[in-house]
Amino acid sequence: MCMRTLSTAGNGKTDQALRRSYLYVPSSSDRMLDKSLSTPSDIIIYDLEDSVPPSPHDKDSARQRLSTFLSVQHKLPHPERIAVRLNDITTPFFEHDISEILKSPFVRTLVLPKIHSARDLHHVSRAVRTSRARTSTPFPIRIIASVESARSAWNLGEIASWASEYGPDVGGKLGALLFAAEDYCADTSVVRTPSRLELLYVRSQIATAAKAFGLDAIDMVCVNYKDLNYLKDECEDGRRLGFNGKQAIHPTQVDIIHSTFVPTEKEIFRAAKILHQMEVAHSSQKGAIGLEMEGGGKEMIDAPMLKQAENIIRVAKAAGLEIPGVG
């Protein structure tokens, strides 16, 4: 089995692109496809799976509709924002989906539902290799593995560490783990509650596994799309657990996801102070400082907290947020 290298350098990320929101768009609707062109969502997931009725006619029709939509180059979002969720590998639709969708040079990301093991990703990789042999595309396909079952949660380590036997340019590259909470609950008999405590363990495991191998961690859909206060609370909860972003099922959810999955003003100011004061300390051959706390007292700041501060400033800059001067 081909394995990825365990990341020991922060979160393993080197690119500056923010991937906070992942908005699902049903490929069964021309109206929804056209509306997707105006969404500010960081990533747009054109869906061939759950939002499309299960009949062969509906699946074929949605696939052809999306293929036609993706052929109109002048109006599409930037390719880095385009993702397609295929039907899972056990369905009769998967091979047709991947063959048709990868004809488009604008699709850079595939979302693969019901990934239970590394073996499933090898199956996907072989299909990517076969489909891309008919085209000349120089970029690797980014694969997002959806964690939806007890088996996939049990096998998180082997899933997160997977690498294509053909290499990333030919067989694709794993870029993220995504949590499909409702499918997971259906598989495990977990009872959903507004507190989300029943999902704390598996969400923590997904975020940790993703960060161990330099992947993005994408949190669950907030199915209560009318209650934006609850959405904000769920976003804050996911960010605290280490998720980079969140799935959305309605355009009104995108702005709150964007504003929550970035550092707060207070966090940015504290991080900027740490960077400045640690720079001064290092110039004086000191490895730690005492940082004044709100309400009095001091907290010890050393290398791990410096790394946290650097991550906060990196994300803030990528989001275009102001970094205060503290010198």
Q: Kindly write down the DSSP assignment for every residue of 21-87, as one continuous string.
A: EEEEEETT-HHHHHHGGG---SEEEEESSTTS-SSHHHHHHHHHHHHHHTT-GGGSPPGGGEEEEPP
> How confident is residue 286, by pLDDT bands cut at 50, 70 and 90?
confident
Question: Which residue intervals of 88-167 are DSSP H helices?
Answer: 94-101, 118-132, 150-154, 156-160
- Report the pLDDT averaged over residues 106-124: 97
- Distance, first Cα to last Cα, the chain: 51
How would residue 63 be classed by pLDDT, with cut points 50, 70 and 90? very high
Q: What is the CA radius of gyration of the chain?
A: 21
Examine the pLDDT at 302 and tell me if it is beyond 60: yes
Q: Contact, 182 vs 223, CB < 8 A?
A: yes
The H-or-E segment that residue 112 falls in is: strand 109-112
pLDDT category of residue 289 using cuts at 50, 70 and 90: confident
Confidence band, pLDDT 50/70/90 cuts, at residue 4: very low
Which pLDDT score, from 0 to 100, does residue 32 have?
96
Q: Which two tokens stand for residue 321?
A: 């947020």
Mean pLDDT for 102-120 is 96
Q: Which of 1-10, 156-165, 183-192 shows the lowest mean pLDDT across its residues?
A: 1-10
Please tell me the number of Cα atoms within 13 Å of 26 on its side-chain side.
15
pTM given for the model:
0.90
Residue 82 has a pLDDT of: 97
Q: If you search the block for the tokens 């275009």, which residue do you land on?
A: 320
* Of the listed ranges 42-46, 81-85, 189-193, 308-312, the one predicted with least confidence: 308-312
